[in-house]
Amino acid sequence: MMSFSKRTVIASLFAAALLFPALPAIAATPQSAQVQQNPGAQVVVTVNGKKITQNDLDTATNNLMPLVTYHNAVSEERLKGIQKKALENIINSELIYKYAKENKLDKVEKKEIDQQVKDLKKKLPKGDSLDKVLKRSNLTIDDLKNDFKQDIVVVRVSKLKTEEFKKKAAESVNEAFLRDYYKKNMDKFKEPEQVHLRSILIKADPSGGQRVWNESRKKAEEISKLAKEGTDFAKLASERSEDPFAKKGGDMGWAHKGSLFPEIEEAAGKLKAGEISGPVMTIYGYHVLKIEGRKPSVQKKFEELNQKNLEHELEEKEFKSLWNGWLDGIRKASKIEYLKKFD
C-alpha cells in the first residue's frame, strides 16, 4: 500500500508537470512575496521545524477525497473534516519518522530509494524528464530521495508497531478481561424490548394535498372500527392494506424498540397485546396497528454472548488505544506549531 508521503510526492510532481509547467522558481523569494506569487507556498504548520505548506495540505486532502466521497459533491463542512484528517496524516508521518530516527530505525538501502525514483520516472508524461519536473517543482533530487526514504521508513515502522500492538492486545483480551468488561457494561448486552405488530397502510400521496390525506384517514378510521368490532385483522390487511406486508395479513413480525418509525413506536407503546389502534400518520399515509404480543427487555448472560465477536471488538479497541497512546507520547515530545487557523 502506498503511504501518505509517497502519494504526496508523486501527486505534487504530477501537478507541477501537468498543471503548472510555467511556474517560476521561487526558492530565493522572501516568504511574504513568495506566498503572494504562489499561495500554496504558505506554511500552515511546522512539525519539529519541518515546514508543511498549503500545497502539501491540499495534495494530501485531494488524496483522501476519492476514498471518502466516491467522487460525490462535498459540502464545505465535510471538506473541512477531510482537510483535518489530511493534516493529521501529515503530522503523524512526521512523528513516526522522528521516532524512527531516535530509535535508529531509519536505515534504508540505497537501492530501495533508487528503485522508487526509477518507478517514478516511468510514470512521467512522454517527452518530460524528472530533472525538468523537479526544477519546475522547486525540488532537488535529494529532496525527492529524502521523501522516498521517509516513506519507506514510516511504512516499515508503522508495520512493526502495528504487529507489536496487535500482539499485546491479543494477549490482554483473555476470558477474565471479557468477563470484567461484561460486568462493567451489562446494559450493552441487553436484548431490547420487542413488539409483534400487524399493520394496515392506506397510502396518501404527499403531493396530493389535504383532500387526499383526509380520504386516507377516513378509510383508516373505517378499517380500525371494523377490526375493533371483530372483523379478522389479517383478512382486512390482505384485502385493503397497501404495503408489502398485506400478503402476510399485515404481519410485520417482531421488531426491536427503536427500529420502527417513531410515530408507529409511540402508538404501539400505548397498546396492550390484542388491542388495535386508531389511524397513525406517517410520511406514507395512515396505518392501523394491532399488537400480537410483547417481549420484555432481557439481560443476556455472559455464556450467551458471541464471545469471538466480542473478543475481536475489544482487541481492536485495545489496539487503537495502544497505537494512539504511542503517537500521543511522541507528540508530547515534539514541537507542533500551527501557523494557520483550522476551524
**Element housing 281 (H / E):** strand 280-282
pLDDT of the residue at 340? 83
pLDDT above 90 for 10: no
Using pLDDT thresholds of 50, 70 and 90, give the confidence band for residue 177: very high
b (16+ CB within 10 A) / e for 225-239: ebbeeeeebbebbbe
| pLDDT value at residue 275 | 96
Query: Would 181 be classed as within a structural domain?
Result: no
Domain count along the chain: 2
Q: In terms of Cα–Cα distance, which of 192, 193, 195 is closest to 291?
A: 195
Identify whether residues 14 and 150 lie together within a single domain.
yes
Average pLDDT over all residues of the chain: 86
Q: What pLDDT does residue 308 have?
A: 95
Q: Is 240 found in the same domain as 126?
A: no
Same domain, 24 and 97: yes
Q: How confident is the model at residue 161 (pLDDT cuts 50, 70, 90)?
A: very high
Residue 256 lies in a domain: yes
CATH of the domain at 63: 1.10.4030
Q: What is the pLDDT of residue 343?
A: 65
Residues 212 and 144 in one domain: no
Tell me: do 149 and 203 sit in the same domain.
no
Is the pLDDT confidence value at 249 over 60?
yes
At residue 66, does pLDDT exceed 80? no
Question: Which amino acid is present at 167?
Answer: K
Residue range 31-43: mean pLDDT, rounded: 63
Q: How far is it, in rounded angstroms, from Cα 226 to Cα 201? A: 15
* Residue in the block written with cell 420487542: 194
Q: Cell 388491542 appears where?
A: 275
pLDDT-derived band at 77 (thresholds 50, 70, 90) equals confident
| Pair 19, 142 in one domain | yes
Q: Are 246 and 314 in contact (CB under 8 A)?
A: no
Domain end marker among 133, 155, 177:
155
pLDDT at 38: 63
Query: Are 17 and 125 a contacting pair, CB within 8 Å?
Result: yes
Residue 34 reports pLDDT greater than 90: no
pLDDT band at 135 (very low <50, low <70, confident <90, very high): confident
Per DSSP, the three-state class of 294 is strand
pLDDT greater at residue 78 or residue 99 = 99
Answer whether residue 342 is part of any domain: no
pLDDT, residue 20, reads: 33
Residue 246 inside a domain? The answer is yes
Is 15 within the bounds of a domain? yes
Distance CA 277, CA 267 (A): 7
Rounded to two decimals, what is the model's pTM? 0.66
Q: Let me know if residue 188 belongs to a domain.
A: no
Would you place residue 21 in the very low, low, confident or very high pLDDT band (cuts 50, 70, 90)? Answer: very low
Task: Kindly state whether residue 172 falls inside one of the protein's structural domains.
Answer: no
42 found inside a domain: yes
Backbone phi, psi, residue 298, to 5°: -125, 130
Are 218 and 281 contained in the same domain? yes
Q: Which domain holds residue 51?
A: 4-155
Per-residue pLDDT tens digits for 115-124: 999 998 988 8
49 and 129, same domain (yes or no): yes
Whether 80 shows a pLDDT value over 90: the answer reads no
Is residue 269's pLDDT more than 70?
Answer: yes
The larger pLDDT score, comparing residue 285 to residue 65, is at 285
| CB contact at 8 A, 83 and 74 | no
pLDDT at 107 over 50: yes
Same domain assignment for residues 34 and 143? yes
Whether the per-residue pLDDT at 173 is higher than 50: the answer is yes
Percent with pLDDT over 90 in the chain: 67
Give the pLDDT of residue 137.
Answer: 76
Are residues 218 and 265 located together in one domain of the fold?
yes
Whether the predicted pLDDT of 104 surpasses 90: yes
CATH code of residue 220: 3.10.50.40
List CB contacts of 69: < 8 A, sequence separation 6 or more: 78, 82
Q: Are 162 and 134 in contact, with CB atoms under 8 Å apart?
A: no
Task: Write down the pLDDT at residue 17.
Answer: 38
CA distance 247 to 6: 58
* Residues 34 and 146 grouped into a single domain: yes
Shared-domain flag, residues 138 and 69: yes
| For residue 12, pLDDT beyond 90 | no
